[in-house]
A and B are shown apart, each in its own frame.
Chain A
């Protein structure tokens, strides 16, 4: 009896969990987007205003996330930092997907020689550590948000490119492409109307998950001094600045770190839901 009941209830619970997860991540992303668009509405004070009399105060009702070494309100800095952090995340994930689309398409559709060359390029990029690439770019371009976007974007592109290539190859050999060819459609038309949309669909989910991952990577690079310069409230820069005070004022590193984790988790959850919906659509 119990076993039957469990089997009956489980799918309902799973669906409910799915809905809760989706809603929670969507709301979280929404809050971060609101912070990025209108930080002045959510932040209680200016993120750059120093108040030396309030330096290194632990979290309290007056300062939810405490204050930093110069008496700046950390919660306000986290809120204002959302714009730059999200911009870096979206920019890097967007660049990664764009580069992947170009490389993946050529690797799948070009002639044998060109496809072979691009495949080798993808493999080389795949084997090249992202951090090393970031170091190289920072030494050439200097540390800035744009450098982070380029470094993280290029670092994530090879993985996406392989995915795009696989997706295009499977579409290229599918029945509907065969049918379009039989109907005499031009190659570019087939690519634009039939292959590209099918390759793009999984990328929407990948892109959403990539935003969270890119923010984590960019924050990691800022943490080791390769990111945005202080006094920017970009989250990685906050982590880097808080590092010096970790033993005496751990909130300076724990709370921005927690925010990064929450956003990355929300973006990944949302991406997985999108992926699962698209797969259901396919089925």
Chain B
């Protein structure tokens, strides 16, 4: 073989390898239909390989990624069904006193935690105190201002005492942040042990956790306490869930197509239609609560001026950006306070602002930002109209969201805003960089919730005697807080929704926060895996009812 031939062969091999790599990357496969044959029968056991986006620090905690995991392991007192009705889980019945200050839960009999200890009233009361003391950060903020104490009246009856009436109390308990853990485990095991493998009474237990790779969830063979909205009683059908962490969306989709994953979470908008055409089952849940929204720092900087906030909002054609990037999968959301799937949603607040560049320019001119520099950015008294806009890339904001934010940056430029868009890596976010009143001019993010009571968390005043770190606009207004508190305590549903809507419109009128898009929880599932569903409180995947067919 001549040198030239050798060279040509080597080049050809390289090209072939490159093409093969490209094909592998693009997920092309020579396989036929992925649909199971008609009449395919249920297979016993098996391992579900599930590709999830983010890996939390603990199985249990105050972040939704933790809630999705802990839902598999811990049972709640109550569950939320598809009709937004609260149904029994560990609690068979519950009742609020006439003044809504005392809630009594009666538990199922004979339920045990996986460490053998009983799920009794004492354990439930202990969990309430544990949450309120910060054992779960999100549970703590939900209970804050309302929870007073919990006591076991007898083996199976627990009473929770509230400081203020809260008719939505039981509904809030359907979120996985309120997953019940073994009292013995919380008392005797280290924080690290409970973080890595909390002991609950759920359908699965935590097996091995290979950090950076996967968590094995093992079937609890003695499971007796599924929620009333589960599709079957008893233990899970599958033996194991291999909960893999695949942060890159393209890799997740490729894993599904290659058959390495039976189900994946957070399907990119651009892949959604193709995945459906290929025959994969698709589940989409528009998360209620605070949508992906931008809130303005009202305590420092240019956005202390309401007109500048409004100018910024008018400069954006948010719907157009979201529709293009979201490919019809990600819904546009105009409301900054709550998303469209939240009870008590206000259309009026959602429609408060539409794209109007002329109006944006008028407001900026009126505020004295009349000059422009060579790059087209507005200048006043020698100072440029700079906007510091950090966002948590890859965690709070996924790839689609990052593209939407670039659209915001570009459109605001036309009005003369110089938006400094800074993706914050998880390490910097964890260290608190770009947080606090000096950390940003605009913040972006969501907060899932089952109801509009989330406004209490996001807008309650941040006062020295009652700090609220979750008020990202740093907006302290007793009038707004009063509307929300009255809504939370309103016994009549119509009155409650009207007050929640009033709060949303109050927020929109002052341009404190505006919506961008609704946060989604999407799943794509191989049709050989049946009965994976999304729970209704937060949209997490449920594998207790899942089974394979062959």
A71 to B410 CA separation, bound complex (whole angstroms): 12
- Nearest Cβ distance between residue B250 and chain A, in whole angstroms? 6
Across the interface, do B421 and A229 meet the contact criterion of CB distance under 8 Å?
Answer: yes
Across the interface, do B27 and A244 meet the contact criterion of CB distance under 8 Å?
Answer: no
Across the interface, do A248 and B271 meet the contact criterion of CB distance under 8 Å?
Answer: yes
A245 contacts the other chain (Cβ, under 8 Å)? yes
- Nearest Cβ distance between residue A224 and chain B, in whole angstroms? 10
Chain A residue nearest in CB terms to B424 = A142
- How many residues from B make CB contacts under 8 Å with A? 36
**Digit string of B25-44 for contact with A (CB within 8 Å is 1, else 0)?**
11100000000000000000
**Digit string of A54-79 for contact with B (CB within 8 Å is 1, else 0)?**
01100000000000011100000000
B16 contacts the other chain (Cβ, under 8 Å)? no
Chain A residue nearest in CB terms to B400 = A244
Task: Tell me which of B248, B250, B410, B425 contacts A143 (CB under 8 A).
Answer: B425
Within 8 A of A (CB), among B89-122: none
Residues on the B chain within 8 Å of A230, using CB: 402, 406, 421, 423
Across the interface, do A245 and B394 meet the contact criterion of CB distance under 8 Å?
Answer: no
Across the interface, do A247 and B250 meet the contact criterion of CB distance under 8 Å?
Answer: yes
Residues on the B chain within 8 Å of A231, using CB: 406, 409-410, 421
Chain B residue nearest in CB terms to A253 = B25
A225 contacts the other chain (Cβ, under 8 Å)? yes
A105 to B411 CA separation, bound complex (whole angstroms): 53
Across the interface, do A139 and B427 meet the contact criterion of CB distance under 8 Å?
Answer: yes
- Nearest Cβ distance between residue A44 and chain B, in whole angstroms? 18
**Digit string of A244-274 for contact with B (CB within 8 Å is 1, else 0)?**
1111111000100000000000000000000
Known contacts A69-B325, A247-B26, A48 near B410 by CB under 8 Å: yes
**Digit string of B402-425 for contact with A (CB within 8 Å is 1, else 0)?**
110011011101000000011101
**Digit string of A30-58 for contact with B (CB within 8 Å is 1, else 0)?**
00000000000000000011101001100
B143 contacts the other chain (Cβ, under 8 Å)? no
Within 8 A of A (CB), among B364-404: 393-394, 399-400, 402-403
**Digit string of A193-223 for contact with B (CB within 8 Å is 1, else 0)?**
0000000000000000000000000000000
- Nearest Cβ distance between residue B269 and chain A, in whole angstroms? 9
B48 contacts the other chain (Cβ, under 8 Å)? no
Across the interface, do A250 and B422 meet the contact criterion of CB distance under 8 Å?
Answer: no
B432 contacts the other chain (Cβ, under 8 Å)? no
Residues on the B chain within 8 Å of A138, using CB: 425
A146 to B337 CA separation, bound complex (whole angstroms): 39
B324 contacts the other chain (Cβ, under 8 Å)? yes
A31 to B253 CA separation, bound complex (whole angstroms): 38
Residues on the B chain within 8 Å of A56, using CB: 270
Residues on the B chain within 8 Å of A246, using CB: 25-26, 250
Across the interface, do A244 and B393 meet the contact criterion of CB distance under 8 Å?
Answer: no
A231 to B271 CA separation, bound complex (whole angstroms): 22
Across the interface, do B324 and A55 meet the contact criterion of CB distance under 8 Å?
Answer: yes
B20 contacts the other chain (Cβ, under 8 Å)? no
Known contacts A138-B425, A231-B421, A50 near B407 by CB under 8 Å: yes
Residues on the A chain within 8 Å of B410, using CB: 48-50, 70, 231
Chain A residue nearest in CB terms to B404 = A70
A69 to B269 CA separation, bound complex (whole angstroms): 11
Chain A residue nearest in CB terms to B324 = A52
Residues on the B chain within 8 Å of A143, using CB: 423, 425
Residues on the A chain within 8 Å of B22, using CB: 250, 254
Chain A residue nearest in CB terms to B422 = A229
Across the interface, do B26 and A70 meet the contact criterion of CB distance under 8 Å?
Answer: no
Residues on the B chain within 8 Å of A229, using CB: 421-423
Task: Tell me which of B25, B270, B321, B324 contacts A248 (CB under 8 A).
Answer: B270
Across the interface, do B325 and A244 meet the contact criterion of CB distance under 8 Å?
Answer: no
Across the interface, do A69 and B421 meet the contact criterion of CB distance under 8 Å?
Answer: no
B198 contacts the other chain (Cβ, under 8 Å)? no
A139 to B429 CA separation, bound complex (whole angstroms): 11
Task: Tell me which of A70, A139, A245, A248 contacts B407 (CB under 8 A).
Answer: A70
B9 contacts the other chain (Cβ, under 8 Å)? no
Most buried by B among A48, A70, A139, A249: A70
Chain B residue nearest in CB terms to A243 = B250
- Nearest Cβ distance between residue A38 and chain B, in whole angstroms? 17
B354 contacts the other chain (Cβ, under 8 Å)? no
A71 to B249 CA separation, bound complex (whole angstroms): 21
Residues on the A chain within 8 Å of B270, using CB: 56, 69, 244-245, 248-249
Residues on the B chain within 8 Å of A250, using CB: 22, 26
Residues on the B chain within 8 Å of A52, using CB: 320-321, 323-324, 407
B268 contacts the other chain (Cβ, under 8 Å)? yes
Most buried by A among B250, B274, B325: B250
A254 to B25 CA separation, bound complex (whole angstroms): 12
Across the interface, do A243 and B406 meet the contact criterion of CB distance under 8 Å?
Answer: no
Residues on the B chain within 8 Å of A249, using CB: 270
B15 contacts the other chain (Cβ, under 8 Å)? no
Residues on the A chain within 8 Å of B250, using CB: 243-244, 246-247
Across the interface, do B403 and A225 meet the contact criterion of CB distance under 8 Å?
Answer: no
- Nearest Cβ distance between residue B469 and chain A, in whole angstroms? 23
B549 contacts the other chain (Cβ, under 8 Å)? no
Across the interface, do A70 and B394 meet the contact criterion of CB distance under 8 Å?
Answer: no
B14 contacts the other chain (Cβ, under 8 Å)? no
Within 8 A of B (CB), among A119-161: 138-139, 142-143
Chain A residue nearest in CB terms to B433 = A142
Task: Tell me which of A70, A142, A244 contacts B399 (CB under 8 A).
Answer: A244
- Nearest Cβ distance between residue A74 and chain B, in whole angstroms? 14
A50 to B411 CA separation, bound complex (whole angstroms): 9
A249 to B425 CA separation, bound complex (whole angstroms): 26
B428 contacts the other chain (Cβ, under 8 Å)? yes
Across the interface, do A70 and B428 meet the contact criterion of CB distance under 8 Å?
Answer: no
A102 to B254 CA separation, bound complex (whole angstroms): 48
A70 to B410 CA separation, bound complex (whole angstroms): 10
A228 to B27 CA separation, bound complex (whole angstroms): 28
A250 to B27 CA separation, bound complex (whole angstroms): 12
Chain B residue nearest in CB terms to A247 = B26
Chain A residue nearest in CB terms to B402 = A230
Chain A residue nearest in CB terms to B250 = A246
Across the interface, do A70 and B403 meet the contact criterion of CB distance under 8 Å?
Answer: yes
Task: Tell me which of B268, B409, B411, B425 contacts A225 (CB under 8 A).
Answer: B425
Residues on the A chain within 8 Å of B400, using CB: 244
Across the interface, do A70 and B406 meet the contact criterion of CB distance under 8 Å?
Answer: yes
A50 to B26 CA separation, bound complex (whole angstroms): 26
Across the interface, do B271 and A247 meet the contact criterion of CB distance under 8 Å?
Answer: yes
- Nearest Cβ distance between residue A137 and chain B, in whole angstroms? 12
Q: Could you write out 22 A-B pairs with CB less than 8 Å apart?
A: A49-B410, A52-B320, A52-B323, A52-B324, A52-B407, A55-B324, A69-B325, A69-B403, A70-B325, A225-B425, A230-B406, A231-B406, A243-B250, A244-B249, A244-B400, A245-B270, A247-B25, A247-B26, A247-B250, A247-B253, A250-B26, A254-B22
What residues make up the interface of A, taking CB atoms closer than 8 Å to B? 48-50, 52, 55-56, 69-71, 138-139, 142-143, 225, 229-231, 241, 243-250, 254
What 8 A-B pairs are tightest by C-beta distance, nearest first? A52-B324, A244-B399, A231-B406, A247-B26, A248-B270, A50-B410, A69-B403, A229-B423
Besides A231-B406, A231-B409, 14 other A-B contacts (C-beta < 8 A):
A49-B410, A50-B410, A50-B411, A52-B407, A55-B324, A69-B325, A69-B403, A70-B403, A138-B425, A243-B250, A244-B400, A247-B27, A248-B271, A254-B22
